[in-house]
């Protein structure tokens, strides 16, 4: 199987006019790295680090973390690998980090908020990442989850620089960050839109609650408008804007995201082939027209239909 995959090298993600759109993998542990490469991942757009922490009584040591990060980075020589700092909260409770007293965990001290409240945990993680990055040839980018203010952005950037990490970014997954993207981006190197949480917070619909699942739809024009804000801010500031939520794995929505200004897309590796094929059918101009058609809709269903018609 591996030999076959190598015999027919996968082309990089690109639009019909040759505009490159690197297609990256979302990974939850280093174990999936080889398969992602075999499926044509051009790097990693979201490496979730929770697996290292979730079953632990104490935060893992710097050495333990370094080993795991090094294993991941070694699979992507010369490629971009975006590692996300620990995204914990009362919904993913950690004995050494979370407060279990929160009534609304999704609105509580989670993501970067929790890390800034326990800075030693973030510092250890950044130390391990810097050491792993220095020991491999991958291009290591580090980003913070659940950033909602400019001050948080500044604090995260300062901490990463202090640890010698060259490229630091923020996830845009809270409406405040999307609305203020033009103010946030000057204080960081890149943004990565997390459409799962961005949709949850925009629609005020718990992403884990089946009874409101219909609202958890990234095609909703309210969500698309926020993504368009981030795309416009990326263009204005010259900073890369990736998308790493589930939305990037929907081939037609992937075209819309690029039309709204996304410069890279990251997804579950199984979706790479379909997204690659769909992107190759549209020029940048067409992707922008498809995106505008979706953006002009009043409902998620209309946005889907308008994009389909325009494509």
Question: Interface with Mg ion by CB under 5 A: which residues?
Answer: 173, 194, 197
Could you say whether residue 27 binds ligand PEP (CB under 6 A)? no
Q: Is 284 an interacting residue with respect to ligand PEP (CB under 6 A)?
A: no
**Which H or E run includes 107?**
none
Tokens at 284, concatenated: 């940048």
197 near ligand PEP, judged by CB under 6 A: yes
The reply to whether 92 sits near ligand PEP by the rule CB under 6 A is no
10 Å Cβ neighbour count for 88?
26
Closest to Mg ion by CB, 93 vs 273, is: 93
Contact 278, 251 (CB under 8 A): yes
Give the nearest distance from C-beta 287 to ligand PEP in angstroms: 21
The answer to whether 71 is a known ligand-binding residue is no
Is 195 a binding residue for ligand PEP by CB under 6 A? The answer is yes
**List 24, 244, 271, 279, catalytic entry:** 244
- Please say which residue, 29 or 292, places its beta carbon nearer to Mg ion: 29
Between 60 and 145, CB nearer to ligand PEP: 145
**Does residue 48 have a known ligand-binding role?**
yes
Between helix 300-310 and helix 221-237 the angle, nearest 10°, is 60
Q: Rounded distance, CA 241 to CA 28, Å?
A: 21
Q: Does 46 bind ligand PEP (CB under 6 A)?
A: yes
Give me 248's structure tokens: 């990037």
Spell out, one character per residue from 123 to 162, where the chain touches ligand PEP: x when CB under 6 A holds, - when not. Answer: ----------------------------------------
Active site residue 16: no
CB burial string 278-302: b at 16+ within 10 A, e below: bbeebeeebbbbbbbbbbebeebee
Q: What is the 3-state secondary structure (H, E, C) of 267-291?
A: ECHHHHHHHHHHHCCCCHHHHHHHH
C-alpha separations of 81 from 2, 88, 148 in Å: 22, 21, 23
Could you say whether residue 89 binds ligand PEP (CB under 6 A)? no
- 47 forms beta bridges with 27, 83
Contacting residues toward ligand PEP, per CB under 6 A: 46, 48, 87, 173, 194-197, 244-245
For the annotated binding site for Mg(2+), the residues are 173, 197
* Residues that are catalytic: 244
């Amino acid at each position: 199987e591996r030999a076959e995959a190598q015999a027919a090298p996968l082309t990089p993600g690109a639009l019909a006019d040759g505009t490159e759109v690197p297609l990256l993998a979302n990974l939850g542990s280093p174990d999936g790295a080889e398969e992602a490469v075999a499926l044509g991942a051009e790097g990693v757009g979201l490496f979730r680090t929770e697996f290292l922490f979730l079953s632990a009584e104490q935060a893992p040591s710097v050495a333990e973390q370094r080993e795991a990060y090094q294993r991941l980075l070694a699979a992507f020589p010369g490629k971009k690998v975006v590692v996300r700092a620990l995204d914990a909260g009362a919904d993913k409770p950690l004995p050494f980090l979370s407060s279990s007293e929160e009534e609304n965990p999704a609105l509580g001290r989670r993501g970067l908020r929790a890390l800034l409240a326990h800075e030693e945990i973030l510092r250890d993680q950044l130390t391990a990442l810097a050491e792993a990055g220095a020991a491999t040839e991958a291009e290591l980018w580090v980003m913070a989850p659940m950033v909602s203010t400019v001050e948080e952005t500044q604090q995260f950037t300062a901490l990463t620089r202090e640890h010698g990490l060259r490229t630091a970014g923020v996830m845009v997954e809270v409406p405040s960050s999307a609305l203020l993207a033009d103010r946030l981006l000057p204080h960081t190197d890149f943004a990565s839109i997390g459409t799962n949480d961005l949709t949850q917070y925009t629609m005020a619909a718990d992403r884990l609650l089946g009874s409101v699942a219909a609202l958890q739809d990234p095609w909703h024009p309210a969500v698309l408008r926020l993504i368009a804000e981030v795309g416009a801010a990326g263009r204005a500031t010259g900073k890369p804007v990736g998308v790493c939520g589930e939305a990037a794995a929907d081939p037609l929505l992937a075209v819309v995201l690029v039309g709204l200004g996304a410069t890279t897309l990251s997804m579950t590796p199984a979706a790479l082939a379909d997204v690659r094929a769909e992107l190759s059918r549209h020029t940048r101009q067409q992707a922008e027209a498809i995106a505008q058609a979706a953006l002009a809709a009043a409902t998620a269903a209309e946005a889907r239909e308008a994009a389909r018609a325009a494509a």
